[in-house]
Amino acid sequence: MKHLTYLRYELLRTIRNRRFLIFSLTFPLILYLTVAGAHKNLSLDGISFPLYYLSGMAAWGSMTAVVSSGARIAQERSVGWTRQLRITPLRTSDYFIAKILSGYLMALFSIVVLALAGSIIGVRLSAVQWLTMLGLLLVGLIPFAILGILVGHLVSVDTLGPVIGGGTSLMALLGGAYGPLATGGVFLAVVKYLPSYWLVQAGKSALGGGNAWPAQAWIVLAVWSIVSARVAARVYRRDTARVQ
């Protein structure tokens, strides 16, 4: 990243965008406090319900943050800002990196606030476990950050809201963010191919031992990342070759 001032202003812009906070933090937080707060003593999927739900809401909120950040490219394209940037020395890769880092900043904020809420409700983890959970979430977000950039090149501004809202909610739902949809059988085998499943599992995996992410988690995340990056690169090239 050559242009740090540019990055700084991108982060500032992200922080100033209130809508971001609503979807990536406010909604998950309210849901977490009401639902997990009401079932403190339940256990789910072999772990305490507040921990499961913490992981689920953090996955949903942070996923929304990184996807929305990349998807904002659609808006910048529609007003001609990307064309203006293309005649400056800013490299396209740096433009994308700034979008990804902005998304991660918001994701981090949402995860930290949810974790605080979790510890208030009664989630007890060691420092190592907290950091492991955070680390797994950040890694699990990689494919979503790339998908956000892809969405930013494919979707028009008018349909951006529904696509992001619907897409992330569906991913979160299937991944079990609102509660596991299945604990076995074909359905579980299928959703294990979704990156969101492993994102939701970050809480449980942080407990360590036999709960750690299996090789499948890493492979699924890597494949989703690589494939979306390939598609995004192709769409980007097609997009700049065509005249806007």
Partner 1 sequence: MVTSESRTGGVVLSDLTKSYGEVQAVRGVTISIHPGETLALLGPNGAGKSTTIDMMLGLTRPDSGTVSLFGSSPAAAVQAGVVGGMLQTGSLLGYLSVRELVTMVASLYPHPLNVDEVLRLTGTTEIAERPTTKLSGGQTQRVRMAMALVADPELLVLDEPTAALDVEGRRDFWTAMRAVAARGKTVVFATHYLEEADAFADRIILMARGRIVADGPPTEIKARVGARTIRATLPGVDDTALSSLPGVMKADQRGDAFVLTCSDSASSDTALRALLLHYPQASDIEVRGAGLEEAFLDLTGDDGVESDEAPRP
Find the shortest distance in angstroms from Cβ 77 to partner 1: 11
Would you say the C-alpha torsion 157, 69, 150, 114 has a positive or negative sign? negative
Q: Which stretch binds partner 1 (CB under 8 A): 76-84, 105-113, 178-186, 188-196?
A: 76-84
Q: Which stretch binds partner 1 (CB under 8 A): 13-21, 57-65, 116-124, 142-150?
A: 13-21
Q: Are 134 and 55 in contact, with CB atoms under 8 Å apart?
A: no
Task: Give the burial class of 56: count Cβ atoms within 10 A of its Cβ; 0-12 exposed, 13-18 middle, 19 or more buried.
Answer: buried
Q: Which is nearer to partner 1, 5 or 34 (CB)?
A: 5
DSSP string of 163-228?
Answer: HHHHHHHHHHHHHTTTS-S-SSHHHHHHHTTSHHHHHHTHHHHTT-GGGSPPHHHHHHHHHHHHHH
Per rule CB under 8 A, is residue 19 in the interface with partner 1?
no
By CB under 8 A, how many residues form the interface with partner 1?
A: 23
Q: Which stretch binds partner 1 (CB under 8 A): 3-11, 104-112, 140-148, 220-228?
A: 3-11
Find the shortest distance in angstroms from Cβ 216 to partner 1: 40
Q: Within positions 79 to 98, which residues make up the interface with partner 1, using CB under 8 A? A: 79-81, 83-84, 86-91
Per rule CB under 8 A, is residue 239 in the interface with partner 1?
no
Alpha helices, H only, 17-156: 18-21, 27-31, 37-38, 49-78, 81-86, 92-121, 127-140, 142-154
Output the six-digit token pair for 239.
């997009």
Per rule CB under 8 A, is residue 3 in the interface with partner 1?
yes
Amino acid letter at 94?
D
Per rule CB under 8 A, is residue 16 in the interface with partner 1?
yes
Q: Which is nearer to partner 1, 3 or 39 (CB)?
A: 3
Phi/psi zone of residue 126: left (φ > 0), alpha (ψ -120 to 50 degrees), beta? beta
Q: Which of 17, 26, 119, 129 binds partner 1 (CB under 8 A)?
A: 17
Task: Name the residues that contact partner 1, by CB under 8 A.
Answer: 3, 5-6, 9, 12-14, 16-17, 76, 79-81, 83-84, 86-91, 241, 243
